[in-house]
Amino acid sequence: MDILYNIFIDPFVQMGSAPDLFVQTLWEGLVSGVLYALIALGFVLIFKASGVFNFAQGIMVVFAALTLVGLYEAGVPAILALVLTIGVMFVLAVGVERIVLRPLVNQPDIILFMATFGLTYFLIGFGELVFGGNPKVMITDELYLPRGSVEFEMLGGFVSLQKIDITAAVIASIMVASLAVFFQKTRIGRALRAVADSHKAALSVGISLNQIWIIVWFTAGIVALATGIMWGARSEVSFALQIIALKALPVLILGGFTSVPGAIVGGLIIGVGEKLGEFYWGPLVGSGIESWLAYVIALGFLLFRPQGLFGEKIIERI
Amino acid sequence: MVRKLSTILATAVVASAAFAVPAKAQDSVYVPLFTYRTGPFSGSGIPIANGMRDYLTMLNERDGGIGGAKLILEECETGYDTKKGVECYEAVKGKKPVMVNPWSTGITLPLIPRAAVDKIPILSMAYGLSASADGDTFPWIFNPPNTYWDGLSMIIKYIGEQEGGLDKLKGKKIGYIYLDAGFGREPLPLFDQLSRDLGFELKLYPVPADSMQNQSSQWLSVRRDRPDYMVMYGWGALNPTAVKEAAKINFPMEKFISIWWPGDDDLRSAGAGGKGFKTLNWHAVGTDFPALQDIQKLVVDKGLSQAQKNSVGEVLYNRGVYNSMLIAEGIRNAQKITGKTAVTGEDVRRGLETLDLNEARLKELGLEGFAGPIKLTCADHNGHRPAFMQQWDGQKWVKISEPIEPMADRVKPLLEAAAKDYAEKSTGWPKRTEPCDKQS
């Protein structure tokens, strides 16, 4: 009976007895969720356009953040370093299209997937050669990102919101809204969706596959840069950031690989779910459940919607 | 970048020269260095790798090696990954290394049973299996100058001093945040025992490797549980993130105490909130020692190091130097015992067992005042040396306590029991047959 009480009653008693902590946990979950969603968005963009699961998205986050900080450390003013980093991500997108994707057109998806493994190892090695493996401090102040926290006394306690987290939430929301408009309302967005449906059909109506791929990889690069800045500000800019990208997998499973709203909703569900799970139910099993709880949540959803929350239902006649 | 490329080029030229004209076997000893300059833990791995390599390179440059034997150095990149570490071991063991430094508790554990079979001593300096300090059970494993259990006992002792005595810990709450891996789990048995013996409540906050940079759940739990002190066994990105998160919830930094692994970069990354954070340490920081100055002059200034000049003397760099000092002294002792120049792993095992770094010897090495004396024996492969507390003042580490002796009375019986238990549970664990040299 004690076990049942600890699982089904006690966590809710705790939520009621310390509502400020519940609100704080919810907030931390939402912030993590938004950041997971940003990483997942990078995956979704490329998957939508080419059907490729881009294994290199995690290292692109590291590479973008390292480039930004590396340029600043080399004496480039912060804002110019940001602009140059965007330029570097564009060059990377062009390079990926020319060197990796173009020679592999019409190859099975698994070949393209493996090519992104190669790209990952290239970016790791290149990043380490140019910037070294030492962790770096994100140039938060220089980019005019706010520091410190805002504290509210509420519900018999206090809730503390970090300004950088609020900024991350705002920036992520703006990026998501812009991308949604871009995909739904612009000519390029429609072309991109056409490419996602069928490469051959898109080519036959005059859509340039190569151009679309560059746009998509460049956009994923920008998303990676935003993610790298936000995560880097929360911790440090190091190759450890690429591990965070693994958190995008349950988000994608949950939200669907082809849905921008799915990445957002999936990110928020995973973020909030794992924080509440770890905080209220973790101690029952010795804590440290966060890393696998995300997959359990995703699998739970899959039982009812195998295509993910917003994924396209694939019907194949056999 | 140009400097890096030229270093790589220089290394390649030196390496090719070494292969083109093989040194006579009797003129050299092969010392592999397991390092991690890449991957999620490189922030901790790089300064240690630099310190280790630079000290041994300095011996080659200044003295032509050790006792007439040139040191053949070779790094193997493990990425702090146990599988890669074991691969490194398999790759180097055929080249007759005089010892292996795994630089990871996770890598050390699978190497322990192999060491006796392959006759290669394992030096896991202040990490690895605490019980391997028992030389009678683990004749091939060395973990000086203190074990993780010693470290924990020193931290608890220090907390006791802050509170006015160990008896005052009764009813207190101590939180433990740790990397949820072999390293972080290592002190748990002792922590559990001490909490029962001294009457404090232990709260555990494990951090999985993929959550190192996302510890908000753990620190929310800390906020809920309100421990009186926090103890940390962290590595890589875990350390700066933990310090940042602690500052975020306004945890008093002077009550946040770590084992000896956080480095300067970790605290710089953590920012202003890290001021007041404490860690154990057993050696000096800075370059005010003749050996460190020789490194600067003969290695760093000549472009033979991968370290930035201003990183020489930082806490983890000097940790690497200390590690290599032990390597070098083990080799030197082996030469003394056997009369050979090109010693083997079996000889160096004996050399390590007779290690006696007293004040006079440290002075000869140009390291007077760098660290306390240490003496190993056949039975004690650790030394269980004291460590002191240092505090981050926002810019640098400042020593804030006298040396703290480990709680030998509490640690030793547990350690002996753990060693016995390990041997019993490992089917066919060999009884020690290696003779004990007279010097011990």
Distance CA B56, CA B54 (A): 6
Residue B25: predicted pLDDT: 47
Which of the residue ranges A279-283, A287-291, B143-147, B263-267 would you say has the lowest mean pLDDT? A287-291
CATH number for the domain formed by residue range(s) B24-146+285-376: 3.40.50.2300
For the ranges A253-267, B11-25, B280-294, the maximum mean pLDDT occurs at: B280-294
> Hey, are the CB atoms on A25 and B220 less than 8 Å from each other?
yes
Chain A interface includes B223 (CB < 8 A): yes
In terms of CA atoms, which chain B residue is nearest residue A128?
Answer: B38
Is the peptide bond prior to B145 cis by the omega test (within 30 degrees of 0)? Answer: yes
Q: Is the pLDDT of residue B4 over 60?
A: no
In terms of CA atoms, which chain B residue is nearest residue A278?
Answer: B217
Q: Which of B37, B45, B216 sits opposite A28 (nearest CB)?
A: B216
* Coarse DSSP helix, strand, coil percentages of chain A, rounded to the nearest 5 percent: 75, 5, 20
Measured from the Cβ of residue B393, the count of other Cβ atoms closer than 10 Å reads 14
In terms of CA atoms, which chain B residue is nearest residue A159?
Answer: B249
* Coarse DSSP helix, strand, coil percentages of chain B, rounded to the nearest 5 percent: 50, 15, 35
Q: What is the mean pLDDT of residues B364-371?
A: 97
Distance CA B435, CA B378 (A): 9
Q: Is the pLDDT of residue B171 over 80?
A: yes
Helices B315-338/B42-63 angle, 10° precision? 40
Q: Which of A92, A107, A110, A82 is nearest to A42 (CA)?
A: A92
Q: Which of B133, B170, B169, B173 is nearest to B151 (CA)?
A: B133
- Contact present, A22 and A158 (Cβ < 8 Å): no
Residue B38: predicted pLDDT: 87
Residue A151: predicted pLDDT: 87
Question: How close is the nearest chain A Cα to the Cα of B184, in Å?
Answer: 13
Residue A109: predicted pLDDT: 82
- Write phi, then psi, for B121 (nearest 5 degrees): -70, 145
What's the CA angle centered on B422, arms B417 and B424, to 5 degrees? Answer: 95
Q: Is the pLDDT of residue B24 over 60?
A: no
For chain A, the maximum distance between any two Cα atoms, rounded to a whole number of angstroms, is 67
State both tokens at A96: 């990926």
Q: Is the pLDDT of residue B347 over 50?
A: yes
Q: Is the pLDDT of residue B273 over 50?
A: yes
Question: How close is the nearest chain B Cα to the Cα of A297, in Å?
Answer: 17
Q: Which of the 8 DSSP states describes residue B429?
A: P
Residue B6: predicted pLDDT: 52
Q: Is the pLDDT of residue B18 over 70?
A: no
- Write phi, then psi, for A283 (nearest 5 degrees): -60, -20
Q: Tell me the sheet residues that pair with A161.
A: A150
Residues found in chain B: 440
Selected residue of A124, A290, A293 to mutate for chain B interface (largest B Cβ count, 10 A): A290
pLDDT digits (tens, 9 = 90+) for B316-335: 999 999 999 999 999 999 99
CA dihedral B61, B95, B19, B38 (to 10 degrees): -70
Q: Which residues of B touch A130 (CB under 8 A)?
A: 1
* The domains spanning B24-146+285-376 and B148-281+387-407 adopt the same CATH topology: yes
Residue B14: predicted pLDDT: 46
Residue A308: predicted pLDDT: 79
Q: Which residues of B touch A134 (CB under 8 A)?
A: 42-43, 46, 265
> Hey, are the CB atoms on B213 and A241 less than 8 Å from each other?
yes
Q: How confident is the model at residue B13 (pLDDT cuts 50, 70, 90)?
A: very low
pLDDT digits (tens, 9 = 90+) for B184-193: 999 999 999 9
Q: Is the pLDDT of residue B15 over 70?
A: no
Q: Is the pLDDT of residue B309 over 70?
A: yes
Chain B interface includes A299 (CB < 8 A): no
- The residues spanned by each domain of chain A are 38-239, 246-318
State both tokens at B96: 């007759």
- Contact present, B243 and B261 (Cβ < 8 Å): no
Burial B402-439 (b: 16+ CB within 10 A, else e): eebebbeebbbebbeebbeebbeeeeeeeebebebeee
Local confidence pLDDT in tens for the 318 residues of chain A = 788 898 899 999 999 999 999 999 999 999 999 888 888 888 888 888 777 889 999 999 999 999 999 999 999 999 999 999 999 999 999 999 999 988 887 788 889 889 999 999 999 999 989 998 888 989 999 999 998 888 888 878 889 898 988 998 898 888 888 887 887 888 888 888 888 777 788 888 888 888 888 999 999 999 999 999 998 888 889 888 888 777 888 998 888 888 888 888 999 999 999 999 999 998 888 888 888 899 998 888 888 888 778 776 666 676
Chain A interface includes B214 (CB < 8 A): yes
Q: Which of A31, A278, A291 sits opposite B210 (nearest CB)?
A: A291
Q: Which residues of A touch B42 (CB under 8 A)?
A: 128, 133-135, 238-239
Distance CA B323, CA B315 (A): 12
Q: Which B positions 414-433 lie with beta carbon below 8 A of chain A?
A: none
Size of interface A-B (CB pairs under 8 A): 128
Q: Which residues of B touch A137 (CB under 8 A)?
A: 268-269, 271
Question: How close is the nearest chain A Cα to the Cα of B94, in Å?
Answer: 28
Question: How close is the nearest chain A Cα to the Cα of B274, in Å?
Answer: 13
Selected residue of B38, B217, B244, B308 to mutate for chain A interface (largest A Cβ count, 10 A): B217
Measured from the Cβ of residue A270, the count of other Cβ atoms closer than 10 Å reads 31
- Contact present, A51 and A30 (Cβ < 8 Å): no
In terms of CA atoms, which chain B residue is nearest residue A245?
Answer: B210
Residue B12: predicted pLDDT: 47
Q: Which of B185, B252, B183 is nearest to B222 (CA)?
A: B252
Question: How close is the nearest chain B Cα to the Cα of A80, in Å?
Answer: 21
More confident residue, B36 or B271: B36
Q: What is the pTM of this model?
A: 0.87
In terms of CA atoms, which chain B residue is nearest residue A70?
Answer: B1
> How far, CA to CA in Å, does B355 sit from each of B280, B328, B361, B403?
23, 11, 11, 21
Q: Which of A135, A274, A288 sits opposite B206 (nearest CB)?
A: A288
pLDDT digits (tens, 9 = 90+) for B223-250: 999 999 999 999 988 999 999 999 989 9
CATH superfamily of this structure's domain B148-281+387-407: Response regulator (3.40.50.2300)
